[in-house]
């Protein structure tokens, strides 16, 4: 990972709605969940579907979310490995280890 990768990853969660999406999906994973569909995310966070779709697409493109298709639904998961890698880079690079 380099500084451009870190900026991309951290930028993907730097907006409050995106941070809440990441929180929700990471808690789902920690509790043994298999991810959430966009409708469930929208309902739990009170986000309009069109707005949520924009955020999910961008977060997926930036590598902090993964998606898989189950029937007609797209299921989203937090890509914790990417986020942890970015944070470890910041700690090592800026904080000296």
CB 38 within 8 A of CB 56: yes
- CA–CA dist 66, 50 (Å, integer): 19
Q: What is the pLDDT of residue 97?
A: 64
Full set of structural domains in the chain with CATH: 3-91 (1.10.10.10)
Tens-digit pLDDT profile for residues 22-32: 999 999 999 99
Tens-digit pLDDT profile for residues 43-96: 999 999 999 999 999 999 999 999 999 999 999 999 999 999 999 999 998 887
Question: Residues 79-91, buried b or exposed e (16+ Cβ, 10 A)?
Answer: beebbebbeebee
């Amino acid at each position: 990972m380099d500084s451009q990768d870190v900026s991309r990853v951290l930028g993907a969660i730097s907006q409050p709605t995106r941070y809440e999406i990441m929180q929700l999906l990471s808690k789902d994973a920690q509790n043994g969940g298999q991810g959430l569909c966009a409708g469930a995310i929208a309902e739990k966070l009170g986000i309009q579907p069109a707005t949520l779709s924009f955020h999910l697409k961008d977060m997926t493109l930036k590598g902090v979310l993964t998606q898989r298709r189950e029937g007609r639904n797209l299921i989203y998961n937090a890509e914790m490995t990417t986020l942890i890698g970015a944070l470890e880079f910041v700690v090592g690079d800026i904080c000296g280890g």
